[in-house]
Amino acid sequence: MFDRAFIANPYPQYYEWLKHGRVVWSPDFFGGAWVLPHYKDNTELLRDSERLTTEKAGGLVAQFPPEYHAELRSLDEYLARWLAFIDPPKHLRIRRLLQKGFTSEVLNSFRPRVQEIVDNLLAQGMVEGRLDMMSDFAYLLPVRVVCAMLGIPDKDHMLFVRWMDELAMFLGNASSTVEAARHAKDALEKLTTYFRELLPERRRHAGRDLISLLVAAEEEGDVLSEDELYAQCVFFLFAGHETTSNLIGNGMLCLFRHPDQLALLRGQPSLVVGFIEETLRYESPMQYTFRMARRDFDLFGQSVKKGQVLVFLFGAANRDPDVFEASNMFDITRKKNAHLTFGYGLHHCIGAATARLEADIAFSTLLLRTHNMQLLIDEPQWRDVFRFRGLRSLPVQFEVK
């Protein structure tokens, strides 16, 4: 199912699912899973921690034959510490501590640094009048921003880009391979070792970076353990990288495919916020999330068994015609746009404001400094990563104002 033709345009299949049922069994997701395409069902069930769990959903190694389970067990153990794969009440405890690093005050103080990173990445392109929007800009921006937030030296940034790629190839596909799992396991081991070696220095010499804030974070006497700190630093890097880079690339492609909206945005730069939200809905960089059934239960007339996976298909829910007027239209002036791209309920993305900040500065800077921007290829290719919808390349040329 997940061939390049489907990844390039999954929406006809989404519309079929939206028309023909509230829950659909698909053998293609994780070797068999229940797919939920409707917005209302997504929002209701994502709040259901009594029947559904995120912790068991972290057990991705179970999709492989038993002879690989021992070899890959540590992969599950690493992922089980990520905030995304933790249930309440532990999730609430860790989230309260982590939020101290994502307050509006912290993010606003970081805005000048994000602008500096954007300017540096665009500098060569501004001289040449062309760049690959993905490899030269969108793909590097979030890694540099999150690394800067964590206080990671510039010389190490490209290491993190490679490790993020290896994680994305495993976590981004609903039908993965043992080889991809091995690469992801290796990347997680290297990332954890990196932060394990970095943490003692931050304890001795605390700065204003996110790691120092998290080391000092305390809530009613509670603090993050060493393992929790390592895991969340890796999680921030991965989640921040995939969503933001694809948001920027997908947004630019939407403007090229809808020149009327590009003209509108250039005429009214204040619409950049609406443009970002519409991109998040229309070409969601996060196509789905998933949960696992804690027990047997009936769901819309179907029998869900304990241990089965439920896929919440954000890419379809964000185009649900029962919720979004003219759902197949890209409209940056859309008023009602409560998309699900950053999740819903307890597990709503803790870094959503950071992604929006980066996208705001990136798009505003591009619009301010360029004009007559043109796409240099007829049909951009999508990455072979279904969950994290993003482009391989997006070469553009432009004139500098």
The domains of the chain are located at 4-49+72-400
Cis upstream peptide for 89 (omega within 30°) = yes
Residue 283 has pLDDT above 70, yes or no: yes
**What is the rounded average pLDDT for all residues in the chain?**
91
Q: Is 166 a residue whose pLDDT tops 80?
A: yes
- Residue partners of 13: CB distance under 8 A and separation at least 6: 6
205 pLDDT above the threshold of 60: yes
249 pLDDT higher than 60: yes
What Cα–Cα distance (Å) separates residue 176 from each residue in 28, 84, 225, 268? 11, 19, 31, 43
CA dist., res. 23 & res. 242, Å (int): 28
Spatial separation of the C-alpha atoms in residues 261 and 267, rounded to whole Å: 10
In angstroms, the CA 42 to CA 46 distance is 6
Q: Does the pLDDT of residue 266 top 70, yes or no? A: yes
pLDDT at 356 over 90: yes
CA distances from 66 to 70, 73, 115 (A): 8, 11, 49
Assign 319 a pLDDT band (cuts: 50, 70, 90).
Answer: very high
Number of C-beta neighbours around residue 302 at 10 A: 13
Flag the least confident range among 142-146, 166-170, 317-321, 375-379.
Answer: 166-170
CATH number of 4-49+72-400: 1.10.630.10
- Which residue bears the tokens 């929002």? 43
pLDDT the model gives residue 57: 55
Residue 179: count other Cβ atoms within 10 Å of its Cβ: 10
Structural tokens at position 379? 């049909």
- The secondary structure of residue 154, as a DSSP letter, is G
3-state secondary structure 311-326: EECHHHHCCCCCCCCC
- The reported pTM is 0.93
Supply the angle between the helices 141-150 and 157-171 in degrees, to the nearest 10.
110
Q: For residue range 170-185, what is the model confidence (pLDDT) as tens digits?
A: 887 766 789 989 999 9
311 within 8 A of 33, measured Cβ to Cβ: yes
The pLDDT, as a whole number, for residue 218 is: 59
Q: Is the pLDDT of residue 56 over 80?
A: no
Residue 309 has what pLDDT? 93
Examine the pLDDT at 208 and tell me if it is beyond 90. no
pLDDT beyond 70 at 21: yes
Q: Where does the pLDDT of residue 64 fall: very low under 50, low under 70, confident under 90, or very high at 90 and above?
A: confident
